Amino acid sequence: MQVDSEDEIEVSPFDWPKGFYSDSTHAGLKPDGDDMGWIYSEVPAEAAGVYTTNQFQAAPTTLTKQTINLNYQLQAVVMNSGNANSCNGEQGISDAEMMQQMVADRLQIQANLVGIASTGVIGEPLPMAKIKAGISELKLTKNVGLTKAILTTDTHPKTMTVKCVINDQPVTITGFCKGSGMIHPNMATMLGFVTTDAVISGSQLQQLLSHTVDETFNQITVDGDTSTNDMVVVMANGQAHNQPLTDTNPDYSTFAVAFETVLAHLAKEIAGDGEGASKLVEVNVKGALNHLEGQQVAKAIVGSNLVKAMIFGEDGNWGRIMQAIGQTDAHVDIDGVSVSINGIQLVKNSMGTGIDDAEVSATLKNKVVTIDVDLNAGSAAGTAWGCDLTYKYVQINASYRS
């Protein structure tokens, strides 16, 4: 999607949109650091969400999905790390509902305006006394500690704020997320939250979110595993007082591009912070028969353990990229594929170019590795993001609970 001028979108320091508040606290779910927090809008906000496709969907995820689907509205989301409240049966459902009601009582709003998000160890009951104490400590501040409170194995918070002008009114879109391992969306062990003061209906927001997630969060992979708790939730409280954003609003494309800018940045932040990762990997595919196949091939390459290990080892073994392409059912010109890494062409017409291995190894030392592929089968493209596979990944996940 294009806008007339890049000046219409401005990446800004982290800042909550008008009418949004937050806070975080240490509830004791983790040994140290904040592990619980909330987002609050001073008015009910239009809301939309996308959720994990894992069959063992966690109680907080299921409850939030049900809550948003009632009328596409939320006024608050409470979140915790340290415990996923997943695979806990009826007790897990009851605890999620109790958590929702506690927040509603504290904020004096309806329970069906409260979303719940949890992340952490699967299969351990929520310590409800700690949850209750944590909720009692939360306040309505502008505390950005919330962005740290949801982290598990992440090495840093992942945030993004973009400002734009819609119908002559300044609009802010701010997002933050967590995710490092068990990342292979539809969705992944990731939680994402986006707030905006724009005026947009819940149904329009849902349409935009679903489309944008397919182009961003669903095009990242760290380890091929999909979690039970993932979700991305968006709240739009209308405090910018712009004209309602619909497909016919001339500034809709500006908002959509700003929205995609936020989600794409957060998606790449997750990919680059994969557990144990030392490199961010971007794969750009062109010459695909259609966009879906371009996306499929890009994600297959970035998700291949052989490719990921190759990049970690700084070994220009381009055959691993070719096998990843060939494992898909995408249309490919078998005798016409090209592959480049960081601008160095390794494959032309599906054969090696004889490039010096030392040159390839040197470029693979970069913190960002870009792989460009031409399938020579059409005019469509696709992009995906991931990371290398390191010894550290095994170390982290061999002792996750300890």
Would you state the torsion angle of the CA atoms of residues 266, 270, 272, 274, taken in this order, to the nearest 10 degrees?
180
Which residues have CB under 8 Å from 118's CB, separation 6+?
58, 60, 79, 80, 81, 83, 84, 85, 86, 96, 126, 229
Query: What is the distance between the alpha carbons of residues 48 and 50, in angstroms, rounded to a whole number?
Result: 7
Smallest CA-to-CA distance from 159 within 263, 271, 9, 17 is with 263
CB 346 within 8 A of CB 320: no
- Strand, coil or helix: 18: coil
Q: Which fold has domain 280-398?
A: Ubiquitin-like (UB roll) (3.10.20)
In which residue are the tokens 């010894």 written?
391
What does the pLDDT read at residue 171?
Answer: 98
Burial class of 276 by CB neighbour count within 10 A (0 to 12, 13 to 18, 19+): buried
List binding-site positions.
152, 178, 189, 275, 397, 402
Residues β-bridged to residue 299? none
Amino acid at 254: T
Burial class of 263 by CB neighbour count within 10 A (0 to 12, 13 to 18, 19+): buried
Query: What is the distance between the alpha carbons of residues 250 and 118, in angstroms, rounded to a whole number?
Result: 38
Domain with CATH 3.10.20.340 in the chain: 280-398
In which residue are the tokens 């040994």 written?
31
Smallest CA-to-CA distance from 363 within 304, 395, 315, 306 is with 315
What does the pLDDT read at residue 225?
Answer: 52
Smallest CA-to-CA distance from 281 within 393, 369, 362 is with 369
Beta strand 169-179 pairing with 20-25:
unpaired
Query: What is the distance between the alpha carbons of residues 381 and 288, in angstroms, rounded to a whole number?
Result: 6
Q: Compute φ and ψ for 288, nearest 5 degrees.
A: -80, 155
pTM of the full predicted structure?
0.82
Query: Each residue's pLDDT tens digit in the chain (402 positions)?
Result: 444 444 589 999 999 999 999 999 999 999 999 999 999 999 999 999 999 877 888 999 999 999 999 999 999 999 999 999 999 999 999 999 999 999 999 999 999 999 999 998 888 999 999 999 999 999 999 989 999 999 877 888 899 999 999 999 999 999 999 876 544 444 345 799 999 999 999 999 999 999 999 899 888 875 555 667 888 999 999 999 999 999 999 999 999 999 999 999 998 888 777 666 788 899 999 999 999 999 999 999 998 989 999 999 999 999 999 999 999 999 999 999 999 999 999 999 999 999 999 999 999 999 999 999 999 999 999 999 988 887 776 766 665 554
Q: Compute φ and ψ for 351, nearest 5 degrees.
A: -130, 155
Q: ∠ at Cα 401 (399, 402), nearest 5°?
A: 65
Smallest CA-to-CA distance from 328 within 352, 282, 292 is with 292
Q: Which fold has domain 6-272?
A: L-amino peptidase D-ALA esterase/amidase (3.60.70)
C-beta neighbour count of 31 within 10 angstroms: 8
- CA quadruple 237, 241, 244, 249: dihedral sign: negative
Query: What is the distance between the alpha carbons of residues 359 and 185, in angstroms, rounded to a whole number?
Result: 34
Query: What is the distance between the alpha carbons of residues 272 and 199, in angstroms, rounded to a whole number?
Result: 33
Residue 337: alpha-carbon gap to chain centroid: 31
Could you list the active site residues?
189
Q: Compute φ and ψ for 74, nearest 5 degrees.
A: -145, 155
Residues β-bridged to residue 362? none
Domain with CATH 3.60.70.12 in the chain: 6-272
DSSP string over 314-358: T---THHHHHHHHTS-S---TT--EEEETTEEEEETTEE----HH
List binding-site positions for substrate.
152, 178, 189, 275, 397, 402
Smallest CA-to-CA distance from 295 within 285, 287, 281 is with 285
